[in-house]
Structure 1
Amino acid sequence: MEHIAVLGAGSWGTALAFVLADNGHDVRLWGHRPEVVQEINERHTNFKYLPDVQLPKGIKGYESLEMAIKDVHIIVLAVPTKAIREVCRQINEVSDHPHIVVHVSKGIEPDTLMRITEMIEEEMLSSVLEDVVVLSGPSHAEEVSRRQPTTVTVSSQNMKAAEKVQDLFINQQYFRVYTNPDLVGVEIGGALKNIIALAAGITDGLGYGDNAKAALITRGLAEIARVGSAMGANPLTFSGLTGIGDLIVTCTSVHSRNWRAGNLLGKGHKLDEVLENMGMVVEGVRTTKAAYQLAEKLQVKMPITSVLYDVLFNEIHPKDAVDKLMARGKTHEMEDLVNILGDRMC
C-alpha cells in the first residue's frame, strides 16, 4: 500500500482517486471547496462532479494541502492547466521532501507555449520535485468511476518513474496502463485533441453529419502530428492512445466537456455564455489560443485550429468558419506524412 495525494477533487481527480483506492492504496483527495471535502468524508460521494457514484472508503478528503501531502511520495496533480503554477508554488511552501508528480491535465500554456511538464519543472524546487510523469489517454471520468474498461498511457523522462506509476494505477479488471517514452508526443496529443473536440461539437451543433466529423478527426490528427513532430515528438505516438484514441473519445461522446461546449457554440450561443453554463473548465478554449500561437512560432499549418481561433476570439460565425475550411486550396492528403518522414530520414 502506498500513501498517495490527489490534488484536485473534480471529476478526473476523483475518478483517479477511485482507481487508486480500488487498488488498495491510501488516497488523500485534496480540494479547495470545504463542502466537497466534507461530502467526500461523510457520504463518500462527490455528487457535483460524479453523480450517483459511491466512492471507496479508502479515499479521505483534505482541505489542508500540507496535511494531504505529508509523508507522501506520489502526488497526482489533477487541477486545471491555469492552476498548475499556483499549486506547484503552494507545494514548495509546505513540502520538506521530494515527490514524483503525476500530472493528468491536458493543455498548453498560452504565451509561454510550455507543456505542463515544463511548467511544473519551472515552478517546483529541485528539493521538492523528484520526477514528473504524465498520465493521458482516452478516458472519461464518468466511465472510470463505474469501473468500465479504460486504457491510458504514462510517460516520463525517467521511465523507471513511469513504470512505478504504471504499477500504482493498473487494475486488471478495468484500468489498463501502458508506458510510452515519447513524453512530448503524449502531452501534445492529449492537449491538442481538445481543440478538435471543440470543432467536432460545433459541427454537430450546426447540424452536420458523420462525414464532417470523420473529416475533422482525421484532418485534426494530421494537424496534431504536424505540430507535434515539429516539437520533436515521434509521429507514431499519434496513432496510439493519446492521439487517435483520445480524439475518438472526445470528439464523439456527450461526456466530453469540450464537445459539449462546441455543440453550444454551433447552436449559436456566445463563448462567455457557454463557459458560464458549463460549470467546469473547458481546456480546449485556452489550448486553442496556445496552439494558434505555437503554429505561428513554428510556422506550421493548422487550418482547423486557425478557424476555431477566429470563432472563439474574433467572433466569426461557426458556419463561416466551416465554409473557410472547405474553400481552402487543393493539396495532397499524404503531404504531411511525406514531409514528416522526410525530415526524420534527414
Structure 2
Amino acid sequence: MNLCILGAGAWGTAMAIYLTKRGHVVTLCPRRMDHALELSSERKNLDYLPQVEFPSDLQIGREVGPALMEADYVFFACPSHALRTTSETAAVHLSTSPRLKGALALCKGLEPKTNKYAHEVMSEALGDVKCGYLTGPSHALELAEGKPAAMCLAINSPEDQTKVLQEAISSSTLRIYRSEDQIGAAIGGTLKNVYAIAVGISDGLCLGDNARAALITRCLNEMIELGVHLGGKKDTFIGLSGVGDLIATCAGEWSRNRTFGQAIASGKTASEIIEAQNTVVEGYWATECFYEKSAKSGATAPVLDQVHRILYQGSDPRAAVIELMARDLKAEG
C-alpha cells in the first residue's frame, strides 16, 4: 500500500518507521518545512524519536499535496487540537488523490470547544472519505524498535476493505484487531489520558501500590460507565482501546500524562508544566472536554470530576483524595 502520515511527532514517526519496514510505500510529512529538511538530512527524528534511524526507503514529504497524491490511506498523527486544520489542508488535495480509501486518526483526544471526536472532525473536513482510528496501547519507541504490540482498527469502511487494511498493517510484531465501534474507540483512547493524570498524581503523592491498583480499577469502571452512557459499547472498553491503553498509559514511565500528573502533585500548575515542554499532554485538554460532555449528559464520573477540579479550579490533590475516599459506600460495579 501507499501510505501518508501527516505529523512527525514521536508516534507519527514510529508508525512511519514500522509501516515502511512492513513493506509499504510510506511518506512522513511534518508540519514545518524546516523539520522536513532536518528529517531528510539526519534520517532520524532528533526532536521526538532520536533513538531510531529511518529505513532507507522511508520518504519525507515537504508538501501535503504530493504526499497524498498516490496514497491509499492517510494517517493523522497531529495533536487533537490541530486535527481540523490538518484535515482541511488534506481536503484541498482530495481531487488529486483518486486512490484515497480512508483516513485514520493516531491522535487520542477530542476537539477543544466543540468536544467532537476525531472521526467526526475528519468526516466534516474530508466528506465521503471513510474515517476511523488505529488505537490501543502504543509506546512509540517500542513500536519503532519492533517490539510486540497489539492495536485496534475502528473505521467505517466496508468489512472486506477493513480486512484488507487489517492484514496490511498487521505483522509478526503488531497484531491488529477490528472494531465497528468508532465512538468507543475514541472515548477509550482519550479518557485513559485523563486517568493516567490521576494515577500520576497518586504516584506523585506517594500514596502507594494499593492506592494505585484501586484507582486504576475504579477508573476502568468509570470509563465503562461513562463510555456506554455516551454511546460506546462495553466490549470496546474491556479491549485494547480501553483497558489495554489504560494499563499502558498509567503504568508506563514514558507516559506524558502520568508524568504530568506527577508534576501536578509536586505543586506545579498545569500552565507552568505545559509552557515548559514541547510535547502535547492530551489528557489536560481531554479533561475539560469530557467534563463538559459528562455534565451535559447527566453522567456520574467522580474521578474525572476531581481531576478537572485539580487542573482547572486549582483544587488541592490531597483534598481530592479525601473526597473520593469519603463518597457514599455502595456495591461494587
Listed as ranges, the matches of 1:34-49 within 5 Å are: 34-49=33-48
**TM-score scaled by length of structure 1:** 0.92
Structure-2 separation of matches of 1:35 and 1:212: 46
Q: Which residue of 2 aligns with 1:69?
A: 68
Contact in 1 for aligned 2:81/2:112 (Cα 8 Å):
no
Q: CA deviation at 1:184?
A: 1.6
Q: CA deviation at 1:50?
A: 0.7
Is 1:115–2:114 an aligned residue pair?
no
Structure-2 separation of matches of 1:315 and 1:39: 40
Contact in 1 for aligned 2:149/2:174 (Cα 8 Å):
yes
Q: Which residue of 2 aligns with 1:166?
A: 166
Deviations 1:18-40 (A, max 9, x none): 11101111111011233332232
Contact in 2 for aligned 1:136/1:242 (Cα 8 Å):
yes
Contact in 1 for aligned 2:104/2:155 (Cα 8 Å):
no
Give SS of 1:4's match.
strand
Give the AA of the match of 1:160: D
Deviations 1:198-245 (A, max 9, x none): 111111111111111111211111111111111222212211111111
Q: Which residue of 2 aligns with 1:331?
A: 330
Work out the percentage of aligned pairs sharing the same amino acid: 33
Deviations 1:240-266 (A, max 9, x none): 111111111000111111111111111
Contact in 2 for aligned 1:144/1:150 (Cα 8 Å):
yes
Give the AA of the match of 2:50: P
Give the aligned length.
Answer: 329
Gaps of 5+ in 1: 335-346
Structure-1 separation of matches of 2:51 and 2:87: 32
Q: Which residue of 2 aligns with 1:204?
A: 203
Q: Which residue of 2 aligns with 1:102?
A: 104
Listed as ranges, the matches of 1:257-276 within 5 Å are: 257-276=256-275
- Of 120, 124, 127, the residue aligned with 1:125 is 127
Is 27-36 or 242-251 further displaced after alignment? 27-36
Q: CA deviation at 1:170?
A: 0.9
Give the AA of the match of 2:260: A
Is 296-305 or 182-191 further displaced after alignment? 182-191
Give the AA of the match of 2:199: A
Listed as ranges, the matches of 1:138-149 within 5 Å are: 138-149=137-148
Structure-2 separation of matches of 1:267 and 1:292: 24
Structure-1 separation of matches of 2:272 and 2:37: 30
Aligned alpha-carbon RMSD (Å): 1.4
Deviations 1:256-286 (A, max 9, x none): 1111111111111111111122320100011
**TM-score scaled by length of structure 2:** 0.95
Structure-2 separation of matches of 1:164 and 1:266: 46
Q: CA deviation at 1:182?
A: 1.9
Contact in 2 for aligned 1:24/1:58 (Cα 8 Å):
no
